[in-house]
């Protein structure tokens, strides 16, 4: 793990908060959005952004660290789904 990938205490706190109410949700984007809602913008910049053209998720090293930590804490393996998969699951156009 590189020094830039260290998960701050504030993000760890928010991960625990989100885990307390999302249940067995295994969708990375859903969990990521919930984590980001509860942290300051200075910390949000550590997370990856969608590809500007395809709008697909492209997890960075920090995202992978959060996904691994979430699995350790909850036992839930978060999945990075394609936009089409998410639309099908959540019945969105």
CB-count burial class (<10 Å; 0-12, 13-18, 19+) for 27: middle
pTM of the predicted protein model: 0.86
What is the residue extent of each domain of the chain? 3-90
Q: What is the pLDDT of residue 20?
A: 97
- Are 61 and 4 in contact, with CB atoms under 8 Å apart? yes
Q: What is the pLDDT of residue 5?
A: 62
Q: What is the pLDDT of residue 1?
A: 39
Under DSSP, is residue 23 helix (H, G, I), strand (E, B) or coil?
Answer: coil
Averages of pLDDT over each 10 residues, the chain, 93 residues? 70 97 95 97 94 90 97 96 86 63
Q: What is the pLDDT of residue 42?
A: 95
């Amino acid at each position: 793990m590189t020094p830039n990938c260290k998960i701050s205490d504030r993000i760890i706190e928010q991960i625990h908060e989100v885990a307390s109410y999302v249940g067995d949700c295994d969708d990375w984007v859903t969990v990521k959005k919930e984590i980001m809602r509860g942290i300051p913008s200075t910390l949000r910049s550590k997370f990856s952004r969608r590809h500007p053209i395809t709008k697909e998720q492209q997890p960075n090293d920090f995202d992978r660290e959060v996904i691994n930590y979430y699995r350790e804490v909850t036992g839930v393996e978060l999945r990075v789904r394609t936009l089409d998969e998410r639309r099908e699951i959540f019945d969105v156009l």
